[in-house]
Amino acid sequence: MLKIGNVTFPSPYILAPLSGISDLPFRMINRSFGCKFAFSEMISCRALVSRNKKTLDMLSTIPSDRPLGIQLLGNDTEFIRGALEVLSEYDIFDIIDFNAACPVSKVTNRGEGASLLKEPRRLSELLKVLVENSRVPVTVKIRSGWDEACINARDAALYAQDSGIKGLFIHGRTREQGYKGGVDYQVIRKVKEALAIPVIASGDVLSPQLIKKMFDETGCDGVVIARGALGNPWIFKDAEKFMRSGTIPQRRCRDEIVNTMLTHLNLCSDYHGETIGIKLFRKFFVWYTKGLRDIKPLREKAFHAKTKDQMIETINELKAAKEDVLVR
């Protein structure tokens, strides 16, 4: 179990806040296969304060979508306070995380995300505002550093802890690396050894075996699963089983892949409406079929599908394919 502040979570495996991906349908399909703690998409404090409709729609949830966390992005204390006021009207989140890890240039150029690693004292000041004004436990997400010359995760983490946060998430790569290169397990371990609060690690936790490696190498209290859950919602129950018994998960058969795709498609269509839901599902079609042989023609057909029936027809064509094509 994982405890952050006064909130206890039944599992140490957490679904990441992925921009443009972690909507309600994505969270619910992962919850159906064992995910017990998920984050909604990363949300800008400025967008929340302006009550942008698209942003407010990201707050949509249902009772079974709990426990639920939200990750905020910003660098201005007034907008942070304003964002918390908006969230207080909803009262649906169990954890508020602050992003100091996003490596995207349009974010860092605004002094947000990973750029805050260059100013750990400033980051601590922003976190204090969150802690003082939040009704729920506050955490922060950082990286190992800005670049190879600035690996300062331990110092940044200590400043963050002094602000009163209840947990820390860390990605084991620098901002310069983005999502390329190897994960620095030792940096994560040093952060874990330095802090008195839970440390949750991320970076290349793409399989149950790599999840176990993250725990073994770093001593972390939990892991955040991001890319590992794309087209693979089974990773949560597979991780639970592997960590408990060492059983290597079986490959998914075509019927299980197809049925899960159809369920996810229905969730997307019901939640977003048919037109938008179909467009959003296209990328998931690619992820669900990753590693399958001779899949390019069906992916092209899925990309051009404009109605739910057309997408269902394309998914069902997977059932007619040869068994060895569809088992990965």
Q: Where in the chain is the domain with CATH 3.20.20.70?
A: 2-245
Q: What pLDDT sits at residue 257?
A: 94
| Phi and psi, residue 88, nearest 5° | -65, -25
Q: Looking at the domain that runs over 2-245, which CATH code has it been given?
A: 3.20.20.70
Dist CA 317 CA 304 (whole Å): 15
What integer best gives the mean pLDDT of the chain?
Answer: 95
Domain spanning 254-325: CATH superfamily = Putative flavin oxidoreducatase; domain 2 (1.10.1200.80)
Dist CA 3 CA 212 (whole Å): 19
Dist CA 266 CA 263 (whole Å): 5
Which residue out of 102, 220, 253, 268 is catalytically annotated? 102
Q: What is the mean pLDDT of residues 57-73?
A: 97
Which pair of structure tokens corresponds to residue 282? 């296209």
- Nearest residue to 258 (alpha-carbon basis) of 320, 319, 307, 300: 319
Q: What is the mean pLDDT of residues 82-99?
A: 97
Known active-site residue 35: no
pLDDT exceeds cutoff 50 at 327: no
Q: Where in the chain is the domain with CATH 1.10.1200.80?
A: 254-325
Q: What pLDDT sits at residue 323?
A: 53
**Percentage with pLDDT > 90 across the chain:** 92
Please count the residues of the chain.
328
What is the tens place of the pLDDT at every residue in 9-25? Answer: 999 999 999 999 999 99
What is the tens place of the pLDDT at every residue in 110-144? Answer: 999 999 999 999 999 999 999 999 999 999 999 99
Task: Say if residues 129 and 162 touch (Cβ distance below 8 Å).
Answer: no
Which pair of structure tokens corresponds to residue 314? 């394309």
**Percentage with pLDDT > 70 across the chain:** 98
